Amino acid sequence: MHALREALAGLYDIEAPLGRGGMGLVYLARERRLDRRVAVKVLDPELAADVERRNQFLSEARTIASLTHPNIVPIFTVDEIDGFVFFAMAYVPGETLFERITSAGPLPADVAGRVICDIGAALDYAHARGLVHRDVKPDNILLDAVTGRALLSDFGIAHASPPVRGTLGRPAAPRGDVIGTAGFMSPEQASGENVDARSDIYSLGVVAYYALSGHLPFAAARDEALLSLHINAPAPPLRSVAPRVPPRLAQLVDRCLAKEPWARFPDAAAFVQAVTAAVSAPAAPLAVRAFLVRGTHLEAPALIHAALIGVGLLPATVLVWSSPADAFTRWIATAALALALALPLVVQLVRVRRLLVSGHRREDLVAALAARQGRRREELAFVYGPGPTSFERIITWLARAAVLAAIVSVSGVLPVLAHPTITLGAAATAVVASIVARARTEQRTDPIGERSLRFWRGPLGQSLFYLADRRTTQSPPPPIVTVLDRLETPS
């Protein structure tokens, strides 16, 4: 790295390594002339002496340079200085799709849908210009932390001008060696056969499967076994491993993983169009939206109700039972407490029954809540970042250190700390730091909305709908027939 810094000192200031891509190492650098951050990809010095590898590396640079699309990482320049062969491309602040899923788990359906559409649009653009990427995978998908876009990178093994044409008039890579990443290869690519745009669609389907479930459709200890599974074994349906994925979206992903290229989408544009329709669900019905609005308005009364029980009725009931009061007084106090505790249940039953009478089920409410929370998570992640901030981490560690200091002070392990003032100070610091950390975390994560979604999705919410439905007669709303339904219904 020192030699690279010296060689590029006139053009770039190399700041830090970013990772490996294809045949080269990628570094974060600052371009001196334009004072901007760039990503510099440098061919491994051991490979630079190999004419074939050198030409392949330069071919990647020429390939990317010929593409201008908002979802493809652009390249600025390619050069050779003091034996270092490199090219500079745009630096995308953020993380790869693999890093996002590893740290935060599967993506919500709407977020995954946007990522799929962004990469699908990039592939459609590349396919229209005679390029098959052949290495579509989460490591090659960058998530821009500023714009929220997904960008496709690393065209290192793409075929720019293949001599063989695909069955759809799309470019087809020539038959030959198996090149790519085993976990994301199409059956025809894994077999070393001719590949066209539909091979990239298969790989994008595997990416979508992974983004929505956190799992790959196939797993094996060795690449050879993994390739065999892609060639011969049917992929498990997406909803068998991720049952909360919307059925329509899961069907589209499953179609991409068909063994026969003709059974997949004819091109990336068709896949993008179908995914857009699947994730752009119509607005929730009026009755469901009213339920959500009223639920928001009930949050403050619910807190007041809980406070009245906690500081009023409950202590009063305990006091009555602990005093020499007569049985009637005890019965009145207990009944009042029971009615107060049952009031939220009665209110929720009335609300649920009204929703049922309007012809809507629990599934409609859960779908609307999930969509609202998906948007809320995205908004909060944009404002506060996808994970804990540095301030939150510092406050959390401060609270832990204060708790430890209080324990040490009370235990007397260290006599120098065994003092009441130190104990009280450490305990107070721990309490304040914990409150601040919790407040900041709740500000970033919307815990009330998440608890509401878990409640109505879980057994308690299901029980409320069951109780409310016992004496309710409702007429279900007419089914919503989408454009895709009409297109797929045989005439």
DSSP letter assigned to residue 173: B
Among 381, 343, 410, CA closest to 108: 381
> Residue 414, class by beta-carbon neighbours within 10 Å (0-12 exposed, 13-18 middle, 19+ buried)?
exposed
Amino acid, single-letter form, for residue 94: G
First CA to last CA distance, the chain: 65
Phi, psi (5° rounding) for residue 336?
-65, -45
Among 271, 282, 245, 280, CA closest to 117: 271
Which residues are CB-contacts of 444 (< 8 A; sequence separation ≥ 6)? 380, 384, 385, 388, 389, 392
* 8 A C-beta contact, residue 308 and residue 269: no
* 8 A C-beta contact, residue 369 and residue 292: yes
Phi, psi (5° rounding) for residue 481?
-100, 115
Strand partners, 81: 84
Rounded to the nearest 10°, the torsion over CA 160, 163, 168, 169 is: 80
Phi, psi (5° rounding) for residue 446?
50, 65
Q: Which residues are marked as active site?
A: 135
Question: Parallel, antiparallel, or unpaired for β 171-172 and 164-165?
Answer: antiparallel
The first and second tokens of residue 171, run together, are 């470019």
**3-class DSSP state for residue 330?**
helix
Please state, in angstroms and rounded to a whole number, the distance separating the CA atoms of residues 448 and 444.
11
- Neighbouring CB atoms inside 10 A of 424's CB total 12
Please state, in angstroms and rounded to a whole number, the distance separating the CA atoms of residues 304 and 287.
26
* 8 A C-beta contact, residue 72 and residue 26: no
Q: What is the CA radius of gyration of the chain?
A: 30
Say how many residues make up the chain. Answer: 491
DSSP letter assigned to residue 25: E
